[in-house]
Amino acid sequence: MKRILVLFFLCSEILLCTACNKNSGEPYEGEETDTSGTTVIVPEDPALASSIGFFMSSWAPKTFKAGTFTEAALPGSAPYLVTVDASTITTKISPALFGNNSNPYMSQMVNQPKLIGHLTNLRTGIIRFPGGNISSVYFWNGQVGIPPADAPVQLTDADGNKTDPGYWYGNNTADWTLSVNNYYSMLQQTGNEGMITVNYGYARYSTAANPVAAAAHLAADWVRYDNGRTRYWEIGNESNGTWQAGYRIDVTQNKDGQPQVISGELYGRHYKVFADSMRKAAAETGKTIYIGAQLLEHEPAIWATDTDKKWNAGVLQQVGATADFYIVHSYFTPYNTNSNPQEILASAATVTKAIYDHVNGSFTANSVAAKPVALTEWNIFAVGSQQMVSQVAGMHAVMVWGELIRNKFGMSSRWDLANAWENGNDHGLFSQGESLSGETKWTPRPAFYYQYFFQKFLGDRGINATVTDSNSSISAYASTFSSGEVGLTLVNRANITRNVTVNFKNFLPGARFYWYVLTGGEGVTGFSRKVFVNGAGPTGVSGGPDNYAALIPYGGSATGGVKVSLPPMSVVNMVIEKK
């Protein structure tokens, strides 16, 4: 289609304005003219990226409606320039990017109204289960203390030592754990959907005549029981890892000639057996499911195991076109390292891009067609300064979501909803109320608030945002709503205030813009366990404002330009009205 662009000058910048179909909420190809005679160009949606694929299936147009706000003063001088370019849609935003992980040691959940309320407000989208290493010793339909007859009394660790298997059972109804049925009930109560990780380790350590068939049958029976409630399934969890049940087996107990140590090639062969059984089970219920296979997210180090070094090639050469999607995990920062705030924040962009490049490089190297990519576990490994429970972890989370959109990932789920205090080395989004933490049970950690307000002002399509001064320590992520507004998230990684002017291409701002400012506690620019939203903070030693869902944004006039002040180490979530 030939398009005619009419340029106009506003605030010394050449700007183009965009509009959206006011009836359907969906953009349409074509041109409109506003009352000033300016031609309005509506960008086309791009082709669906193969790295997103079916994870986009729940996408829906988003409409922004301005409500009550608090008038706020704008900075007089705002020398740092961010340019939002609405002339090109980079991607529709996958609704599956904001997931989290539950686990079987965080209570039955359904009898915890405070937790259920927070999860309902957050609408994380996907909640994975049982997640983590427990998946490799988890018998979803088992009664407490009664493992399958072919599950050995002891397992073999990576060094060849015999260990207590520590099996877990899906029918355990004790208060401290989460049963399968209550997992489903929790999803229904909170308006989220599931992702289930089936027990692959069982295919390795089972003493049955055909251990792979036994494990695949167990997984298929879960698919039957699930009866279409869950679309997304994983075969195993970090099965390449030396820490995983099934990494090394006692070959004297194995009956199908499996090697002592796992390989990517072996996992790939087993994946096909699992997937075949599970798809047949799904067909019996008339439902469609998607089954993921595990890959490594980065090039193994020189000291890595032979299993790791050959994992991706082995999996891809076996699985080929049969996998529906591919799974990676990342904890972004160096393991067990006391990383500082800037090191943590820098990892969001560099590591996310590196994961995408490595996975796609693996596809190319093995002549396998690209498939959707799911980051089903992620967080930070930084320890020693309570980094995981700090506002820096929240800032990092915002940046990771922005980078996942930018790099066109299909799905992600952060690890995890609740864990263990461990002097602040706690990945949990919520506190379990351990006395040493000083927190009440189910107090949201700072990352909860960063996710809540990021999603609140996030549109449904990604667009480009660039920062003119590369030394400003500002990161910018932009989106558009189907109703026409622009959403913009600004992260100030610097220890000083940055005043920002926002300019636009292919968008004409309306009368007003609205924003929330998230900062650490009491002006802290290091690691703070508190977060303040538009000045409102927690009543206790950590977390954020109890009335977060009722907080109204700041508002300002866009007549003199869109300008905002970014306090030190802050995140600003903004929506700009369209003209």
Neighbours of 267 (CB within 10 A): 26
133 Cα distance to chain centroid: 19
504: nearest Cα among 82, 187, 118: 82
3 falls within a domain: no
> What is the total count of domains within the chain?
2
> Average pLDDT of 299-317?
98
pLDDT in the model for residue 287: 95
- Print the SS3 string covering 518-547: EEEHHHCCCCCCEEEECCECCCCCCECCCC
Q: Encoding tokens for residue 454?
A: 């990021």
Helix-helix angle 113-122:180-190, to 10 degrees = 50
384 falls within a domain: yes
Distance separating alpha carbons of residues 24 and 41, to the nearest angstrom: 17
> Average pLDDT of 293-315?
98
Residues 451 and 463 in one domain: no
34 falls within a domain: no
pLDDT in the model for residue 522: 79
Report pLDDT digits (tens) over 76-98: 999 999 999 999 999 999 999 99
Distance separating alpha carbons of residues 199 and 147, to the nearest angstrom: 13
Residues 451 and 464 in one domain: no
Mark out the alpha helices in 50-179 (DSSP H runs).
113-122
- What share of the chain in percent tops pLDDT 90? 91
pLDDT > 50? residue 5: no
pLDDT in the model for residue 553: 98
pLDDT > 60? residue 142: yes
Residues 471 and 399 in one domain: no
* 3-class secondary structure, 510: strand
6 falls within a domain: no
Tell me the CATH number at 406.
Answer: 3.20.20.80
Residue 155, phi-psi category: left (phi > 0), alpha (psi -120 to 50), beta (remainder):
beta
Question: How do beta strands 70-71 and 486-492 pair?
Answer: unpaired
**Domain endpoint, select from 456, 482, 504:** 456
Residues 438 and 511 in one domain: no
1 falls within a domain: no
pLDDT in the model for residue 37: 53
DSSP state of 449: H
493 Cα distance to chain centroid: 21
Scanning the structure block, which residue is given the tokens 């993921």? 292
Q: What torsion do the CA atoms of 205, 374, 316, 280 make, to the nearest 10 degrees?
A: 60
> Average pLDDT of 313-317?
98
pLDDT in the model for residue 523: 75
Helix (H) or strand (E) holding 499: strand 498-505
Q: Which structural domain range is residue 82 located in? A: 59-93+459-578
Q: Encoding tokens for residue 62?
A: 């988003």
Report pLDDT digits (tens) over 37-46: 556 588 999 9
Scanning the structure block, which residue is given the tokens 């997931």? 99
pLDDT > 60? residue 183: yes
Residues 528 and 388 in one domain: no
pLDDT in the model for residue 29: 47
168 falls within a domain: yes
pLDDT in the model for residue 17: 36
The overall average pLDDT reported for the chain is 93
Which residues touch 366 (CB under 8 Å, ≥6 apart)? 312, 313, 316, 317
pLDDT in the model for residue 18: 35
Scanning the structure block, which residue is given the tokens 């002002």? 457
Residues 73 and 127 in one domain: no
> Average pLDDT of 231-238?
98
Rounded to 5°, angle at Cα 100 from 406 and 232: 85
* 3-class secondary structure, 489: strand
**Domain endpoint, select from 456, 473, 498:** 456
Residues 314 and 430 in one domain: yes
> Average pLDDT of 307-327?
97
Distance separating alpha carbons of residues 98 and 345, to the nearest angstrom: 18
pLDDT in the model for residue 13: 35
- What share of the chain in percent tops pLDDT 70? 93
pLDDT in the model for residue 34: 56
Residue 442, phi-psi category: left (phi > 0), alpha (psi -120 to 50), beta (remainder):
left
**Domain endpoint, select from 456, 483, 512:** 456
pLDDT in the model for residue 305: 98
Amino acid at 254: N
Q: Encoding tokens for residue 174?
A: 């004790």
Report pLDDT digits (tens) over 449-490: 999 999 999 999 999 999 999 888 999 999 999 999 999 999
pLDDT in the model for residue 470: 83
pLDDT > 50? residue 19: no
pTM: 0.93
pLDDT > 90? residue 31: no
Question: How do beta strands 126-129 and 193-198 pair?
Answer: parallel
Residues 469 and 435 in one domain: no
Residues 441 and 468 in one domain: no
188 falls within a domain: yes
251 falls within a domain: yes
DSSP state of 328: E
Distance separating alpha carbons of residues 503 and 563, to the nearest angstrom: 9
Residues 427 and 498 in one domain: no
Mark out the alpha helices in 286-368 (DSSP H runs).
306-309, 311-319, 341-365
> Average pLDDT of 516-535?
93
Neighbours of 160 (CB within 10 A): 9
Rounded to 5°, angle at Cα 36 from 32 and 40: 25
Residues 441 and 524 in one domain: no
> Average pLDDT of 504-521?
97
Mark out the alpha helices in 79-238 (DSSP H runs).
113-122, 180-190, 202-205, 211-226
Tell me the CATH number at 544.
Answer: 2.60.40.1180
Helix (H) or strand (E) holding 85: strand 80-85
Residues 215 and 293 in one domain: yes
